[in-house]
Amino acid sequence: MQTTAVLQLSKVVSPAVWQAFQEWQKSGGHESFSFWILLRPSTGIISTKHENARIVDLRLAARRNGAEETLHSFDLYHPGVSYIPYRGTIHVDVLKPDHISSALRPSTLGDTTIRNLKEAWIAKDAPPPASRFAGYGMFTEWRLTLEPDQLNKSLNEVVLQIAYRYTPAQADATSEAGESFILRPVGTDLTIEGSTLNALGGQKQLQDKLLRWRSSRETNIPPLSFAAEIEGHQ
Does 89 fall in a domain? yes
Does 233 fall in a domain? no
Does 10 fall in a domain? yes
**pLDDT for position 227:** 38
**pLDDT for position 144:** 97
Q: Which domain holds residue 195?
A: 2-228
Does 107 fall in a domain? yes
> What is the value of pTM for the model shown?
0.70
- The count of structural domains within the chain is 1
pLDDT along the chain (234 residues), means of 10: 91 96 92 95 88 92 95 95 89 92 84 75 60 90 96 96 87 41 30 36 39 31 35 33
Angular region, 44: left φ>0, alpha ψ -120 to 50, beta rest? left
Does 79 fall in a domain? yes
